[in-house]
């Protein structure tokens, strides 16, 4: 990277951390509210099908609208996108507070609210990820990814016990109002800073070179994102792995409250403890990645961590009902490995994908990797009501171990950083922009 470019990005780091801090508080508020909603559903219905349906409602926007949202993110001002998305979350939480306060709350209202939250996240997440690559020097992206994973771990630690505590101290509408407040805090930080825009967006707005060039349709932009991923064999192989892993592991998170209540015979504090163990692991793993940076070939860090994460899930699945502590250890191990799986992959994408394509590429990858998850949840809910939740942990863990170790011998995956087959798509995309 040229010295002047590095200095420019170094100057944007304070702005990045202002946004990052606001988003951290917003995520804490949303996670506390999410814990309260899940526990309310669990106590009210005790149904795996209901919990799985709520999780499905949270996934649908990203799967169906993800590529389209990414195309718009690459066209629109990314700070504005994040402000509007956070505002939508705040309005949804305010409506939920009213429904609890009025006593009109029903389970189907949770489906609506998680759908709206996910809709905001479908636009917010790619906008934040794509902005990060323009505000952080490339050589520090892996460490920032580790820092993000650490933040997620802190949230996983603090949100469950805080949610359990607030459930004892506040009515549910009070918890929802806290979510409104943290969302407004995130919006306020976005008004304070400048968020760089990619060259293509600047050109389209008349602020950069190429402002007089013809504009492509939104559907052309979506196709460019799909083509970009299609011509990158390594990413396609990783996507296939992600689809299979998500198919088996997605139900474990959705049905965790039932594992605690029906198998371990626990209550909200036990659920909070199990989720916090994951968070502690994520913090430790994220900090390790931030300091260490991973192997020189970052994909090996992800693959070996994936295999070890699978061992953690297998441990949970085989834990006896009288040894709850062992499940906590298993979740701690899985949480530790999670940042080491995801962080390097995000850094690879942020480093190699052109900034003007990142919104589309991130959402295409997110949509395709989660495409089968609604089907798995639709199957897992009724099946878990009959046979329990533990088989999903075992099957998902075994798959993680096999894929993590097996992928180390697949050339297109091992050479993911070196052989960026998407360059053909970039050339085709540039022709359409010319």
**DSSP letters for 415-434:** TTTT--TTHHHHHHHHHHH-
Q: Residue 203 above 70 pLDDT?
A: no
pTM, two decimals, is 0.61
For residue 307, what are its two tokens? 């295999």
For residue 9, the model assigns a pLDDT of 43
Q: Residue 114 above 60 pLDDT?
A: yes
Long-range contacts of range 314-318, CB-CB < 8 Å, 24 or more positions apart?
314/393, 314/394, 314/397, 314/398, 314/401, 315/397, 316/252, 316/259, 316/390, 316/393, 316/397, 317/390, 317/391, 317/392, 317/393, 317/394, 317/397, 318/390, 318/394
Residues 37-43 have a mean pLDDT of 81
Q: Residue 30 above 60 pLDDT?
A: yes
Mean pLDDT of the chain: 78
Local confidence band at 222 (pLDDT 50, 70, 90 cut-offs): confident
Q: Residue 331 above 90 pLDDT?
A: yes
Of 190 and 136, the structure prediction assigns the larger pLDDT to 190
- Rounded distance, CA 341 to CA 35, Å? 25
Distances, alpha carbon 232 to alpha carbons 165, 237, 354, 414, in Å? 47, 9, 13, 13
Sketch out the chain's domains with CATH numbers. 15-194+217-433 (1.20.1250.20)
Tally Cβ neighbours within 10 Å of residue 159: 24
Residues 279-307 have a mean pLDDT of 85
* Percent of the chain surpassing pLDDT 70: 85
Q: Which of 45-54, 91-100, 415-424 has the lowest mean pLDDT?
A: 415-424
For residue 310, the model assigns a pLDDT of 94
Q: Residue 50 above 50 pLDDT?
A: yes
For residue 77, what are its two tokens? 């001002």
Local confidence band at 332 (pLDDT 50, 70, 90 cut-offs): very high
- Rounded distance, CA 55 to CA 42, Å? 13
DSSP 260: I
C-beta separation of 21 from 8 below 8 A: no
């Amino acid at each position: 990277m040229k010295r002047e470019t590095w200095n420019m990005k170094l100057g944007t780091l304070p702005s990045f951390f202002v946004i990052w801090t606001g988003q951290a508080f917003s995520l804490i508020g949303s996670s506390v509210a999410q814990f309260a909603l899940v526990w309310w559903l669990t106590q009210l219905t005790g149904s795996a099908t209901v919990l799985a349906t709520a999780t499905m409602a949270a996934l649908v926007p990203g799967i169906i609208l993800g590529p389209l949202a990414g195309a718009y993110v690459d066209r629109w001002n990314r700070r504005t996108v994040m402000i509007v998305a956070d505002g939508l979350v705040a309005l949804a939480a305010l409506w939920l507070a009213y429904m609890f306060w009025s006593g009109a709350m029903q389970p189907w209202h949770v489906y609506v609210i998680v759908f709206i939250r996910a809709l905001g996240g479908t636009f917010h997440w790619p906008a934040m990820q794509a902005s990060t690559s323009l505000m952080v020097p490339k050589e520090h992206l892996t460490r920032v990814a580790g820092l993000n994973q650490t933040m997620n771990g802190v949230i996983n630690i603090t949100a469950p016990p805080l949610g359990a505590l607030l459930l004892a101290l506040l009515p549910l509408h009070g918890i929802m109002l806290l979510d409104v407040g943290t969302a407004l805090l995130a919006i306020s930080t976005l008004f304070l800073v400048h968020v760089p825009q990619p060259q293509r967006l600047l050109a389209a707005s008349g602020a950069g070179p190429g402002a007089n060039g013809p504009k492509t349709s939104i559907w052309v932009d979506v196709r460019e994102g799909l083509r970009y991923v299609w011509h990158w064999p390594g990413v396609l192989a990783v996507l296939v792995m992600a689809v299979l892993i998500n198919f088996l592991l997605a139900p474990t998170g959705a049905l965790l409250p039932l594992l605690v209540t029906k198998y371990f015979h626990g209550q909200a504090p036990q659920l909070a403890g199990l989720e916090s163990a994951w968070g502690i692991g994520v913090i430790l793993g994220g900090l390790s990645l931030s300091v260490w940076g991973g192997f020189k070939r970052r994909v090996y860090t992800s693959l070996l961590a994936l295999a070890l994460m699978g061992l953690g899930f297998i441990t949970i699945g085989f834990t006896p009902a009288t040894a709850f502590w062992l499940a906590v250890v298993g979740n701690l191990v899985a949480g530790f490995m999670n940042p080491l799986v995801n962080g390097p992959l995000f850094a690879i994408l942020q480093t190699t994908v052109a900034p003007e394509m990142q919104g589309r590429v991130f959402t295409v990858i997110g949509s395709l990797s989660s495409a089968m998850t609604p089907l798995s949840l639709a199957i897992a809910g009724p099946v878990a009501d009959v046979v329990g939740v533990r088989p999903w942990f075992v099957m998902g863990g075994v798959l993680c171990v096999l894929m993590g170790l097996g992928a180390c011998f697949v050339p297109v995956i091992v050479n993911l950083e070196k052989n960026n087959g998407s360059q053909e798509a970039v050339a085709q995309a540039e022709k359409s922009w010319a």
